[in-house]
Amino acid sequence: MYLADEAWPDLESYFESESLALMPLGSTEQHGPHLPEATDHIIAESFARRAAEETGYLCTPTVNVGVSPHHRQFHGTMWADAPAFRDYVESVTRNLAYHGIDRVIFVNAHGGNVEHLREVGRRLRDDGTLYAIEWMWDESITDLIAETFETPGPHGGPKETSLIQHLAGELVHEERLEEARDGGCREFDETTGRVNGARTFYDAIDNTENGVLGDQTDASAEAGEKLFDAALSNLTGLCEWLDDQPAEGLFPKPHV
């Protein structure tokens, strides 16, 4: 069920019988010369809405702009300052608690949101409002990604390219895949941009001239479908697990 499609009287039965909601969050930021700036929020909304369809749980509208100042040098990137993002997401999530939701899955597709969603989840849990947990699609299928791509890259690489080829192929500039690979940073690992253990970079452009990492020519819609189905299975499983948890077990333990 997608909340924004429903008239308010038709939501009453959901809030009376269910207590879980999915909230998709992404970003509007550069993803290289070949992918749309909507990449992350397309991915997040696709996972959340499909999971809602398969499980019957509620999906909220998508938070389309995230914490993305590290991509600001590239045309069109939008971002929210981290404190404003946290406060906004917390406020919107509290709306759901008002209607009776006591557990939320932040269906996230942007790495820059992760730490901030964890902080929002802690705030809401610590004050007893509800239990919110962050889920990042690629972190749920790390082994499959490693098996599928030689150089997956953490941003705009073949894993995200493949997903968009699968979900919204008309938005992919297929003729620019080689340009993306050759003008970006093909190899990226734990040593990139680090000196004697210190992380020396702050922005994406510090490591990649065109904003992306990995080998985009290794992407395909077929690979994207495989990744999507595997991650979706994990998300629906997480929904069922969270719904089964007794409420008292989700909130902070008492002081010893």
How high is the pLDDT of residue 186?
84
| Residues β-bridged to residue 106 | 23, 134
User: Is residue 253 very low, low, confident or very high in pLDDT (cuts 50, 70, 90)?
Assistant: very high
How high is the pLDDT of residue 249?
93
Distance CA(22)–CA(59), nearest Å, equals 5
User: Is residue 190 very low, low, confident or very high in pLDDT (cuts 50, 70, 90)?
Assistant: confident
- C-alpha 189: how far from chain center: 21
How high is the pLDDT of residue 191?
78
User: Is residue 4 very low, low, confident or very high in pLDDT (cuts 50, 70, 90)?
Assistant: very high
Q: How many CB atoms lie within 10 A of CB 199?
A: 10
User: Is residue 18 very low, low, confident or very high in pLDDT (cuts 50, 70, 90)?
Assistant: very high
- Average pLDDT over the chain, rounded to an integer: 96
How high is the pLDDT of residue 96?
97
User: Is residue 92 very low, low, confident or very high in pLDDT (cuts 50, 70, 90)?
Assistant: very high
Q: Does domain 3-249 have CATH number 3.40.50.10310?
A: yes
How high is the pLDDT of residue 192?
82
Largest pairwise CA distance in the chain:
61
Query: Model confidence over 42-88: pLDDT tens digits?
Result: 999 999 999 999 999 999 999 999 999 999 999 999 999 999 999 99
Q: What is the pTM of this model?
A: 0.95
Please state which of the ranges 31-40, 190-199, 233-242 shows the lowest mean pLDDT.
Answer: 190-199
Residues 55, 57, 60, 62, Cα dihedral to 10°: -20
Residue 188: pLDDT over 80: no
Residue 189: pLDDT over 80: no
Give the residue among 10, 49, 30 at the shortest CA–CA distance from 239.
49
